Structure 1
Amino acid sequence: MAPAFFAFAATGAQAAPVDVYRGTLGRAEVVMELGQPKAGGEREGRYFYVRNGVDIPLKGTLGALAEALPVNDEWRRAQTDMPLFADAKQRSMQWRLRLQGEALVGEWVDGFQGKKLPLSLKHIAKYDPEKIAPHGVEAVTNAIVQGYGSSVSQGVALSAQSTPYDYLKMAEQKLEQGKEVVINPSLAWRPVQDPRTKFWYPRLTRHPDAKILSQTNAVLEQRHWGMNLEALGCVGSIYLSSGPEAGSLGNYNNEEIKVSYLSTALMSVVESGSNGCGGAHPNNHFDPFVLDLLRGGYMDFTRLFTGAKYGEYRLEFSPQMSGFIQKNLASQPEPHDDRECNDFLPEYMALMLNKPDKMSFVISGIGHAMGACLGSGVDISFKKLKPYLKPDAERYFQP
């Protein structure tokens, strides 16, 4: 299973809530999360260096809190109790802490080289990691496909209040800025990159409405942060797994993020790639989403198309529009392999836009065995869609 808090918490052994501390280990900035003491005073926790954002598990009493070692040698791989906190000669790295009011002070001791560094940590938050962890179908899917990943459910927004530990992992990082892509003097975007995870993600830089600009970037930031957490979770899995992907970015560094369309009314973005961290198969995906730049947030397509509604699993169109889409799909010239994918479009349909004036109805979210069909579908011009639009919808469809 993908770790919720980390491996210990996934078993339900970790007591909630947990305390979050921030401070220094030597000269390096660190953030630590520490659970409540169990019988014998033993605690479980994790920490990361702000500069790299990779979780390192902790376990032990407050005065002898052992730091996990990478599962990267034959002796450690042969053990069944992972993560391990000492080597074959019982050498370890320890945090030797004591309470000083609400703060923790002490020293970090390297049992391999005999090095010692001062520790000083200030208590900054308390929260329950179980409330934000993936559960149910999401947790099972992550375990099968992703292997190891984020401790935060996809439906949870990162914030200083609800997810203080992971929020600091993301919010404190300075992003590299790509070249601005200017559509017109009042509309533009640019790619940004977290240097720790090495893939680019868009941010809106110009829009006539400052409020919409801010709302749109909040959505893009949360999606970017979520993917960053997954990538860093795979790097941190080297303390939990001996698999070949453990310690890597899970191929997120090769993720392709494309802005396929941008107007003052709509922004269409596609996330695609093949990532994973030791699951049964890679997460081959083609995930488009469309943002409403007139009202803010994600586009509600029922406001655009006559007779459209959201069913239990997907957007459903009127019989007339469904027939229209199928007619266009069947009449387009395409390779034979694409024709074999056509039957899957109604069940796995996602909407996106392509410049200058086309809406695309494409396959997204299909199972691993049919991954070759991802992204296939049909492009239909705004002009041809006009008979199926609601009266107020045409303002969205301006090239």
Structure 2
Amino acid sequence: MALAFAVSASGLALAAPVDVYRGTLGGSEVVMELGRPRTDGAREGRYFYPRYGVDIPLKGPLNALAEAQPLTPELTEKLGADAPLFTDAEQRAVVWNVQQQGDGSLSGEWVDGIRGKKLPLKLKRIAHYDPEALEPKGVEAVTRAIVQGSGSGISQDVTISEKTAPYDYLRMSLQPLGQGKEVVLAPNLAWRPVRDARTQFWYPRLSRHPDAKILAQTNALLEQRHWAMSLDALACKSSIYLNLGPAAGSLGNYNDERIQVSYLSTALMSVVESGSTDCGGAHPNNHFNPFVLDLRKGGYMDFRRLFKDSRYGENGFEYADALVKKIAKVAAKQDADQGGAGGCTDYLAEFMVPMIETPAAVSFVISGIGHAMGACLGSGVSIAFKDFRPYIKPGAQRYLQP
């Protein structure tokens, strides 16, 4: 049942593998993905204009490759067909009439039979890949179907690159980013927000760090997270070709996403993604997702480097008993000071994620809790760096330098 909510960006079951083409439609740049011909010669695919990034489904033989029309209640009521729809109420269509050339490129004409316009088409084949290999599987697929609805169809474990996901790589890399004001903490330490105008939310990049290699690695990781969120937002906008749900054609509230750099030193960068995204899933994806980056070794912070006797077990990261007791003690005192007992801190042990919110304290906050307890997201306790000494490994204090 949950999987019924999942909709790919194009809404078409592309026969893997597919070819990726890049070229021009009239005076505009376009990128197209096209599957193999079926027994009747028909193909399925999608394309986008880089300045918009929205997938438009395609279907038909090469000489009559029809372009899907945005759904309207009137159109779906009159045609009574499953989406996407490739004609209007008068059975007129926008068609790509192209022929394959000897070098694998495509050329021909784009014919708008609805508005009466024709434009030349010229596309060069640039890549060949299997989109099915990128799809989320198992628990991830079910979870994303429930909370996302329409999504990019790319697993969170996939690196979006020119080789692995050439179509979506071009969708992200061809769009220049707006640059926000640099936030300078020291002559050799700073960050700045950047924004894709198509998806509107700001995301951080490290702009200064004493280690050029760490700076590049960190920004590559931040870029991947930024791209993944942007692709989901654009997939929601593309869903206007697939359904008439309340979120269809919108950015799924990604434009209201809040991305905060809660802490930055030469050793650690703590970032929080929070908001309430919704593109047709069973309920909004209310979330508070902190992550901490290791600016000494690169990549995500492995907290085994910091906390004594910690490890990864069957249920995820496991803290030492002494630290768990310390956190529980701080939480109990906090509840007492606030005149109550329990509440959100009752869930802290099960949904606890470390982050840094102030220049001299580590926080343990609730993240990933179920929809019904979404009000507890971000709740937690903080322990000052100076009080951490009994729980950290020898030499780990170099991470905890404001």
Smaller-chain TM-score range?
over 0.9
1:374 is aligned, of 377, 391, 399, to 377
Match of 1:153 in 2: 155
User: Matched residue pairs, number?
Assistant: 395
* In structure 2, C-alpha distance between the alignment counterparts of 1:197 and 1:60, rounded to whole Å: 30
Supply the RMSD in Å over aligned alpha carbons: 1.3
- Contact 2:12–2:45 (CA<8 Å) still a contact in 1? no
* Secondary structure of the corresponding residue to residue 194 of structure 2: strand
Asked if 1:58 corresponds to 2:58, the answer is yes
> Which residue identity is paired with 2:83?
M
1:396 is aligned, of 390, 395, 399, to 399
Alignment of 1:3-152 (within 5 A): 3-4=7-8, 6-9=10-13, 14-77=14-77, 79-101=80-102, 102-152=104-154
Note the C-alpha offset of 1:82: 0.9
Structure 1, gaps ≥5 residues long: none
Match of 1:365 in 2: 368
Structure 2, gaps ≥5 residues long: none
* In structure 2, C-alpha distance between the alignment counterparts of 1:300 and 1:86, rounded to whole Å: 53
> Which residue identity is paired with 1:215?
Q
The more displaced of 287-296 and 138-147 is 138-147
1:215 is aligned, of 214, 217, 222, to 217
Identical columns (%): 64
Runs of 4+ in 1 over 4 A off after TM superposition: 333-338
* In structure 2, C-alpha distance between the alignment counterparts of 1:81 and 1:247, rounded to whole Å: 17
Describe the shift of the 1:357–1:81 C-alpha distance in structure 2 as closer, same or farther (beyond 3 A).
same
> Which residue identity is paired with 1:17?
P
* In structure 2, C-alpha distance between the alignment counterparts of 1:114 and 1:44, rounded to whole Å: 24
Note the C-alpha offset of 1:355: 2.2
* In structure 2, C-alpha distance between the alignment counterparts of 1:228 and 1:34, rounded to whole Å: 22
For residues 333-374 of structure 1, give each alpha carbon's deviation from its aligned partner in whole angstroms, at most 9, with x where no partner exists: 565689411111111111100221110000000010000000
Note the C-alpha offset of 1:5: 6.1
Note the C-alpha offset of 1:137: 1.7
* In structure 1, C-alpha distance between the alignment counterparts of 2:322 and 2:382, rounded to whole Å: 17
* In structure 1, C-alpha distance between the alignment counterparts of 2:258 and 2:339, rounded to whole Å: 26
For residues 287-342 of structure 1, give each alpha carbon's deviation from its aligned partner in whole angstroms, at most 9, with x where no partner exists: 00000000000000011111101123321111111111100111125656894111
Asked if 1:177 corresponds to 2:179, the answer is yes
* Secondary structure of the corresponding residue to residue 200 of structure 2: coil
For residues 175-194 of structure 1, give each alpha carbon's deviation from its aligned partner in whole angstroms, at most 9, with x where no partner exists: 00000000011100000000
For residues 44-92 of structure 1, give each alpha carbon's deviation from its aligned partner in whole angstroms, at most 9, with x where no partner exists: 0000001111000000111100000011232315624110101121011
Match of 1:200 in 2: 202
Asked if 1:352 corresponds to 2:370, the answer is no
Asked if 1:271 corresponds to 2:259, the answer is no
Note the C-alpha offset of 1:114: 1.2
* Secondary structure of the corresponding residue to residue 203 of structure 1: strand
> Which residue identity is paired with 2:358?
K
